[in-house]
Amino acid sequence: MDCSTVSELQNQSESLNRFESLTSWDADWSGLRVVVTGISKTGFSVADTLAELGAHVVVVAASDDEEAVANADTLKIVGVAEVILGEASSIVLPLVKGEQAELVVTSPGYKPTHPLLAAAAAEGIPIWGDVELAWRVREKAGRKTARWITITGTNGKTTTTTMVESMLQAAGLRAIAAGNIGTPILDAVRDLEGWDFLAVELSSFQLHWTQSLAPTASVCLNLAEDHVDWHGSFAAYAAEKAKIYANTEIACIYNAEQIETERMVQEADVQEGCRAVGFTTGIPSIGMVGVVEGLLVDRAFIAERKDSAAELAKASDIGDLVPRHLMANAAAAAALVRACGLTPQDVRKGLINYHNGDHRIQSVAMSEGVLWVNDSKATNPHAASASLAAFKPVIWIAGGLSKGVDYDDLVRNHAARLKAVVLIGTDSSALAASLAKYAPDVAVIATQAPGGRRSSGSALPGDAVMSEAVAVAASLASEGDTVLMAPASASMDQFTSYAHRGNAFIGSVRELLESRASANKES
C-alpha cells in the first residue's frame, strides 16, 4: 500500500469520525465545507443555518430570477462564502474554499440522478436533506428539545399533520407543524425557546435523504402510485415511504385498511418497546383507533381495550362535510397524539379547533341544488379517488400534469359515479384514454385544443381554462349533482400551484353564480 493510499484512508476515517460527532447544535461544525443546492425556502434555511454554525458554505441554484438574487444577497450578508446562480452552474459540484466539499445538503426537488449529486456520490461525499440536518442540530444547550411526530403517505399528509398540531396545542403544549407543510423544518428547530413537539410532514423526496431520524411516533397514512418519475419505480417510492418508521420510539401507526403500511411496520427497525397501532374508518379491533356510528374511538391506549373503547370525538366535531378519508386522517392523528399521552378531551378540542384548509374537499357553493366542491389538492389519482367516493352523481373537472401515473384504476372504480367529465390540462390524453376504456358512456368534454391553445391559436391561460371548465360544468349540472374539481394531476402546466388552480375554480364559480343572480333580477 503506497503512501497516498494510506493518507486517503486516514482522511476518510477522520471525516467519518467527524460526521458521527455532528449530533447537536453545540457540536463542532466550524470550517465544515458544505455545498447547498437550491436557494428557495428550503435551500435558504439550510445555508443560513450552516453559516450560523460556522461552516464554509457554497450555494448553487438553477434559478437566477429576482427572488434568487435577493436571497443570494442576504445569504452573503449572513456569512455564506459563495452563491452560484444559473442553470449551467448548478450542475457542477463546486469547490469550497478551494477544496473539495465534505458534505452536500440538498433541497428535496433535486433527484439523486442530478449531475451535481451524482458527482458527489461518486466522490463518496455524504448527501443530506434539510430534515437530516435539522434532526442533527435539534439539541442545543439552553433550548427546549422537541419530540418529533412524523407523518408521510401519498395523500392526507398535510391534513393529518395540521390535525396533530391542533391537538397538541389544545393540550396546552408548544407545538408547530413543519417540514413539507410550508414552514421549513430548520426554521422551526432554530426557534429560540424551542418546542414541546414538532408535527413533521415528510415527502418521499425528504425521506430519501434522511438517515438518523428517531421520531417519538410515526405514520405512513397510505400508499399509491405517485412520483414514479422522481423515484424511478413504485417499489423505490414505497421503500422511501417506509423509512418513516425507522428508529421510532413509542408507536408506529399504520393504516389497517392497507396491508402495505402494516408490512412496513413489521419490517421496520424500531426502538425497544415501540408499539404497532392501527387506524381504520371501520370498527376498530383491539390495539386500534377507529370509527363506530360516527364516533372516533380508541381501543389502543386504554386499559379496558379488550372489551370497550374510549370515545374521542364525533364526526360533527370536524365539520359539516366529513368524507371517509378525512375521518381516516382524524383517526391517524388521534392515534399519534394518544401515543404521546394526550387525553380524549385534547383530541376532541383539537378537532373542534381544526380548520381543514383551502383546496381540500372545500365546499364552495350550493346553488339550484348543485354542490360545487374544490379539491385542487387532489394532485394524484389516489387523492381524487377519495373525493369521488364521497359524492354521486358527479360532474368531474379533472386533468393536468400527470407525473407519469396511470388512471385506469381510478376511472374503473368510479365510472358509475360520473355523469360527465370536463377535461383541463395541456395534455390529458392519458386520463382521456382511461375514460374511453372504462367509462365509454360518460360524456367527456375538453375545454381546449391540445397544447393548451384555442383553435384560433391564441394562448389559453389557467384562469381562462377554469372559467371555461366551470361554464361547461354548469351547463351539464342539474339538481342533486356535485361539480367536483379534483384534477388527479399536478397543476404546473397551466397554473402556478394547486392553490392558484383552486382559487381560479372558486373565483369562476362565484362569478358564474353572481352572473346568474344578476340575470334573474333583471328578468
343 is in an annotated binding site: no
183 is in an annotated binding site: no
54 is in an annotated binding site: no
* Residue 478 to residues 74, 187, 247, 481, Cα–Cα distance (Å): 55, 49, 53, 6
210 is in an annotated binding site: no
CA 506/CA 500 separation, integer angstroms: 10
Q: How many CB atoms lie within 10 A of CB 283?
A: 13
5 is in an annotated binding site: no
User: What's the burial of 128, exposed, middle or buried (CB within 10 Å: 0-12/13-18/19+)?
Assistant: buried
SS3 486: coil
Amino acid letter, 279: F
Three cell numbers, residue 88: 449551467
CA 211/CA 205 separation, integer angstroms: 13
42 is in an annotated binding site: no
Nearest CA among 487, 484, 502 for reference residue 427 = 487
Give all strands of the β-sheet with 362-367 in edge-to-edge order: 362-367, 370-374, 482-485, 394-398, 418-423, 443-446
Query: If you ran DSSP here, which 8-state letter would residue 212 be given?
Result: -
Q: Is 361 left (phi over 0), alpha (psi -120 to 50) or beta?
A: left
User: What's the burial of 520, exposed, middle or buried (CB within 10 Å: 0-12/13-18/19+)?
Assistant: exposed
Q: 102 near 15, Cβ under 8 Å?
A: yes
Torsion of CA 232, 235, 238, 243, to 10 degrees: -90
* Partners of 398 in the β-ladder: 423
CA 95/CA 35 separation, integer angstroms: 8
Nearest CA among 485, 495, 506 for reference residue 401 = 495
156 is in an annotated binding site: yes
Q: 382 near 226, Cβ under 8 Å?
A: yes
CA-only gyration radius of the chain, Å: 25
Three cell numbers, residue 476: 351539464
CA 131/CA 187 separation, integer angstroms: 11
CA 189/CA 273 separation, integer angstroms: 27
User: What's the burial of 294, exposed, middle or buried (CB within 10 Å: 0-12/13-18/19+)?
Assistant: exposed
Binding site listing for ATP: 153-159
Binding site listing: 153-159
